[in-house]
A and B are shown apart, each in its own frame.
Chain A
Amino acid sequence: MSALLAVEGLTKSFGGVRALDECSFEVAEGSVSALIGPNGSGKTTAFNVITGYQPADAGRLAFRGRAVRRPDPCRLQRLGLARTFQQTRVFPGLTAAENVVLARSQSWAGLLRRRVSGPDRRRAGDLLDEFGLAAYADMPAGRLSYGQRKLLEFASVLMADPLLVLLDEPTAGINPIMIETMEQHIRRRHARGVTFLIVGHEMQFVMRLCDPVIVLDHGRPIACDAPGEVQNDPRVLDAYLGD
């Protein structure tokens, strides 16, 4: 499998702390890859830098084989790279359907026209249906449960037909049944050709869903392997249990 996303030598510091330290890894097209590591190992910073929410101090990024010189969230979304956030971001005062429609890649002018095209409306309806949220389409997103908001955020990023979805802790704070639901949605979309890079702390979920598993520690990868190998890697255990 070829690399859909390649990061090389990515470095990012906050004051005296090196959150990413010449970090390099690849995400193969068609994979469900995981990015794990102990607290503060740089996972979310990696997501933020890759998706253009924070500028890197150094390093290179390539998506679909092309160098991305100054990553910008909107441009990357148009190229096919979308992400979700650890703290779920939905517009609480807008309905679930409006949240999904808004997530479609479009210009500011398009947003200001406040006209939703028929195809967009139908597509949003299909996504809500797929994620079991059709009954809440006209309900303000703020009234959904936390788990449902996680699903809504996931459904929303799919509105732009991404090739690669970065999920930041998709299972954080949700119950075991919702974790299974989330897993099914990821598997279903993966079967339809979407590549995933998932930051996760729920290890059972990560280890049964993802391959390879990339392990970060102190801002750089210390392992990238199949789940079974990673689970038995003493370097990974040392990173998690401390010294």
Chain B
Amino acid sequence: MGLADIKTFENLQKDVISVNRCCACGACIAYCENQAFNVIEMDNYTPKFKSDKSVENCKECGYCYYICPQTEPLLDRLKEAHLVKDELGNIIDIFAAKTTNAKIQEVGQDGGIVSTILTYLFDTNNIDAAIVSEYDDNFKPIPKIIYSKDELAKSAGTRYSISSNILPLKDLTQVAEEIISHKKRIYDSDQLRIAFVGTPCQCRAISKMKLLHIKPAHVISVIIGLFCFENFDYNKLIEILKSKTQINPSNIKKTNIKKNFFVTSKEDTVKEVSIKDLDEAVRNHCHECDEFVGRFSDLSIGASGAPTGYSMILTRNEKGHSLIDSLLATGYIERYIIPADQISEWQPKKINWLKKMTSLKVKK
């Protein structure tokens, strides 16, 4: 029995889950399981009560509802805290860059920036772990916590269906034990530092949790947001791809979008699928999303607007900005050199471009 007037999981089901607005980020479950309340779980990208008994056992604390990226109540305070005044959010600097690391260039998407940032953070011992997304053998994105840069290779590149990146935090205590046993420096699990990489909706959830200073998000030391136009439901996407390309999910080597959807098989056959054909597979919540660049993060990274081989980087606060500065200073990444005649209009042009992309997404 909770205090009066607090919305609970049942409200969440009514307002978000049952009306297909859930983005399957995993935040509600990560929080609740971390508290060992043992009442909700993720079932095929849908959060639900574990059993009928669970409904009674629910503590009605309300966190699942309020940290859900799709609910209203905390949004105003969140915007205040992140200095969000428009659709692009607070921007300290905007520029394009690419990695200088050859190995990452090979496997990375576009500029390979995210992988490089994580490499740098591991190299300088600024993080103990990172939450990334890997593909399993059936091309299904699986969120994972990695503990060293050696594990980065499998997580490079874009994921083209939902990866519930917040979900691994539900087992934070086990994660913590593993790290602490190797790092004498850490005397308190609160000292863990984990980097988070996620889509705008996921970053929004993490940011809401950090606004409230609640676990398990207290160990997230840097939030790296990705640009996101839309995301697909795994099962539906695979069905459509199989029927259009005849490539089995276990045989997919690489996918990417450039106007249309391209699938490369392990035998290096490339098949093209029209974006319109994939409309059915788009997750419903994406239709209502108003975030393209992801405003509630320390920095946002994506391909849109960047020259080929580079990624766009938006730094949003002191933390994100000084992090990127360090990467530039140490040569982990290099800036895109704007041609002399384009310098003055380059940034405004890019900002307008991103705003256009955002409005396109909203109009959908």
A binds B: no
